[in-house]
Structure 1
Amino acid sequence: MASLKELRARIGSIKSTRKITSAMKMVAAAKLRRAQASAEAARPYAAAMRRMLGELAGATKGEEGGPLLLSGTGRDQVHLLVPLTSDRGLCGGFNANVHRLTELTIRRLQSEGKTVKLLPVGRRAINYFAREYSDLIIDKVMGFSGKEVPFSVASDLGDKINALLEAGEIDVCTLVYNQFRNAMTQVPACQQLVPLVMDEAQGHAATPADADAAQYEFEPDEAALLAMLLPKNLQVQIYASLLETAAGENGARMTAMDNATRNAGRSIDSLSKVYNRTRQTNITNELIEIISGAQAV
């Protein structure tokens, strides 16, 4: 049985830990409000970009020599996976879920005879895949540690992906990240960026036979608009995913720190009971010794 001194030291240590986890929970909650607002504000813009490109792609459907970002290289052999994680830990299974989904995707693609390359984003992804799949990493991008997610991170990452595509080093590019649902739920998901994937309705070109379909006149022409918008769309989709990652990280950290604070409280209560019982036992033993000594005299 532990001594009273050891129990006091253990209780004091857990109380200090509880103060830290409680403070981290409040900081994460404050950051979550801003990050969630940014992520939700970016969703309509990213969806509008996809709809606009869907109309343009539908108008140019069937034409040869389309942009690589839209139609790809025509091959499906070399896949680039871009896992998005945070720079810091203490956020439960947030980063581990991305690692797990990325590994499953790697194994699936390799079992199909595909070549897989990795471009991890965030310190946690870089450290993990450098240990497990160092031979697949072709580049890496550090995440962001500030309060806001800079668009320059998405812009630079989009330029890297576009350069790899134009150089013929990749055929398909897929993001792996956590979709933010709420503070307690972040769903790992894959989003293909290259070639651009659109819904059937988005890629359908309007024809006169469609009575309710909207008719558009593009100026400049569709090809020129696609050349301008596709690189921007790539950056926007990456930026929206980064915002989702930032919101999910803060939500996961707030939940993890809340659980840690509750667990620390339960441990303190349990150890306090043990401490009180041990103290009472010591007092009782001392009284017995005093009474026994007095009776012997």
Structure 2
Amino acid sequence: MALNEIKKRIESTKKTAQITNAMRMVSAAKYNKMAQDAKDYFLYAEKVRKMVSHVAKSQLELLDDGVPIRQDGLNYIDFHDMLLERPVKKTGYLIISSDRGLAGSYNSSIIKAVQQMFEEDHADKSEVVVLAIGEPIAKFCRENGYYVAKEMHDISDRPTFGEVQAIVKRAVKLFKEQAFDALYVCYNHHINAVSSQFRADQVLPLTDLDVLDEDEDDMANVDYLVEPSQGALLDVLLPQFAESQIYGAIVDAKTAEHGSRMNAMRSATDAANEMIDALKQQFNQERQLRVTNEILEIINGANALNDNKKKED
């Protein structure tokens, strides 16, 4: 390879390394912010879960005793739909992927895990209802014959609840309307800056709300004073709690995405730097070879002149 060509490749690779390193730093900043958001939201969600669990537990005890939930005679269908299991004929999956690339195997690992899960759990594709965040998973489901009830694309790097509430509320509404009988949120769970793991968490029905005990909740033996009633409160709290669980998964998934992109850009930068080192070594070898050849040509030329002089003498 000519020296000029090697120089051009070195300069080109240096520019690539600068770009990927800049993208790594941007992703690192986004990751740090999102990781803190996820940590803060987890603390909030845990407090809400304990409160809702305590209130719902009281209502479940009333149901077991046959005590009416409401005094106004209205049907308490929301309560039953959100808390009680029913035979599962169809299953809803809210699956979170990313519309942005350059994040390593982030999307491909989700698609692979979802495909395996669907094949193992559902003999008939009509049993599956998908709510998709991100074009990659939406495209996969459409191309493979799975019904996509709603899609959402291009969510921001630091999504707010207001930004994603349309698909979140749609998921809860479809469950209440019995479009499916169980809802799972599927995403890459953030473990740390360098690793994540696919998860499929059941969100609806809220079957684990009555598991708190005195060791877990220091307010387990306290009765809240609620107006107008606990039933009316749960009418509002249970859907909002389910929505908060889904939003928490979106925050978690976005954190994992930034971490994956940060690591992908770090790997790309390291690979570019290794290529630069290899090209520099090749450049030095080529230059040394050229210098050596030039010296040999000079020596050979000098020897030829000396031989000619000797012949003339």
Shorter-chain TM-score: which interval?
Answer: 0.7 to 0.9
- The answer to whether the 8 Å contact 2:90/2:180 transfers is yes
Deviation at 1:288, TM superposition (A): 1.8
- The answer to whether the 8 Å contact 2:125/2:145 transfers is no
Deviation at 1:230, TM superposition (A): 1.3
Q: Does 2:174 match 1:164?
A: yes
Q: Does 2:62 match 1:50?
A: no
Unaligned runs of 5+ in 1: 206-211
> Quick one: which of 114, 134, 142 aligns to 2:153?
142
- The answer to whether the 8 Å contact 2:172/2:243 transfers is no
Deviation at 1:113, TM superposition (A): 8.6
> Quick one: which of 157, 161, 168 aligns to 1:151?
161
Cα RMSD for the two superposed structures: 2.5
Rounded to whole Å, the distance in 2 between the matches of 1:14 and 1:225 is 61
Deviation at 1:106, TM superposition (A): 0.9
TM-score (norm 2): 0.82
Amino acid at match of 1:122: G
TM-score (norm 1): 0.87
Rounded to whole Å, the distance in 2 between the matches of 1:197 and 1:96 is 31
Unaligned runs of 5+ in 2: 64-75, 306-313
Deviation at 1:134, TM superposition (A): 4.5
2:229 corresponds to which residue?
Answer: 221
Q: Does 2:271 match 1:272?
A: no
Amino acid at match of 1:42: Y
> Quick one: which of 145, 169, 183 aligns to 1:173?
183
Amino acid at match of 2:202: Q
Amino acid at match of 2:113: L
2:83 corresponds to which residue?
Answer: 70
1:191 corresponds to which residue?
Answer: 201
Q: Cα distance 1:235–1:23, how it changes in 2: closer, same or farther (>3 A)?
A: same
- The answer to whether the 8 Å contact 1:154/1:235 transfers is no
Structure 1's consecutive aligned runs of 4 or more residues displaced over 6 angstroms after TM superposition are none
1:238 corresponds to which residue?
Answer: 246
3-state SS in 1 of match to 2:102: coil
- The answer to whether the 8 Å contact 1:154/1:236 transfers is no
2:24 corresponds to which residue?
Answer: 25
Deviation at 1:199, TM superposition (A): 6.1
2:115 corresponds to which residue?
Answer: 103
CA deviation vs aligned residue, 1:216-262 (integer Å, no higher than 9, x gap) = 14523332122111111122112211111222211221122112211
Rounded to whole Å, the distance in 2 between the matches of 1:175 and 1:256 is 25
Rounded to whole Å, the distance in 2 between the matches of 1:166 and 1:234 is 12
Instruction: Give aligned pairs, total.
Output: 286
1:14 corresponds to which residue?
Answer: 13
CA deviation vs aligned residue, 1:84-140 (integer Å, no higher than 9, x gap) = 122212122222232222222211211489811221102333344444x35432221
- The answer to whether the 8 Å contact 1:179/1:187 transfers is yes
- The answer to whether the 8 Å contact 1:46/1:236 transfers is yes
- The answer to whether the 8 Å contact 2:57/2:210 transfers is no
Q: Cα distance 1:113–1:7, how it changes in 2: closer, same or farther (>3 A)?
A: closer
Q: Matches of residues 112-131 of structure 1 in structure 2 within 5 Å?
A: 115-131=127-143
3-state SS in 2 of match to 1:278: helix
CA deviation vs aligned residue, 1:5-43 (integer Å, no higher than 9, x gap) = 332222222111100111011111111221111111100
Q: Cα distance 1:112–1:223, how it changes in 2: closer, same or farther (>3 A)?
A: farther
Q: Cα distance 1:148–1:265, how it changes in 2: closer, same or farther (>3 A)?
A: same
Q: Does 2:292 match 1:284?
A: yes
Rounded to whole Å, the distance in 1 between the matches of 2:135 and 2:200 is 20
- The answer to whether the 8 Å contact 1:77/1:114 transfers is no
Deviation at 1:45, TM superposition (A): 1.5
- The answer to whether the 8 Å contact 1:85/1:123 transfers is yes
Rounded to whole Å, the distance in 1 between the matches of 2:136 and 2:125 is 28
Q: Cα distance 1:271–1:249, how it changes in 2: closer, same or farther (>3 A)?
A: same
